Amino acid sequence: MARRRRLLVPEAGQGLNQLKSEVMRREGYRVNPARPDEVKYEVADSLGIQMNRDGNGQMKTEDAGKIGGKIGGAMVKEMIQKAKEQLNRK
C-alpha cells in the first residue's frame, strides 16, 4: 500500500529535519544533516532489526514501530521540553 505522508504545513519540513538531526545526535546516533531520514537505519541496527534500503515489505509492524517510536518519541520529548521552556519565559 502506497504511503502518502504529507506535512500539514509543508514549510515546516526543513525545521522538522533539523530537529530530528539534533535530537538523534544527542541520543548518540550519527546523523547526516543532509539526509536525516537515514538515521532510521542506524536506529534499526542498534535495535537488532534488519532494514534494507531496497524495501522493507517483509518487516513486522512491531519492528517498524520500535524504530519509528525511538525516533518520534525522542522528537516529541524535545518539543515538549521546548514548549515548557517557552511557557516559563512568559
Q: For residue 71, what is the DSSP state?
A: H
Residue 2 has a pLDDT of: 61
Is the full-model pTM beyond 0.85? no
Q: What is the mean pLDDT of residues 65-81?
A: 94
pLDDT tier, 18 (very low <50, low <70, confident <90, very high otherwise): very high
Q: What is the mean pLDDT of residues 7-29?
A: 91
**What are the domain boundaries of the chain?**
12-89
Q: What is the mean pLDDT of residues 55-72?
A: 92
pLDDT tier, 76 (very low <50, low <70, confident <90, very high otherwise): very high
Contact partners, residue 79, CB within 8 Å, separation at least 6? 19
Whole-angstrom Cα distance, residue 30 to residue 4? 27
Answer whether 52's CB lies under 8 Å from 21's CB: no
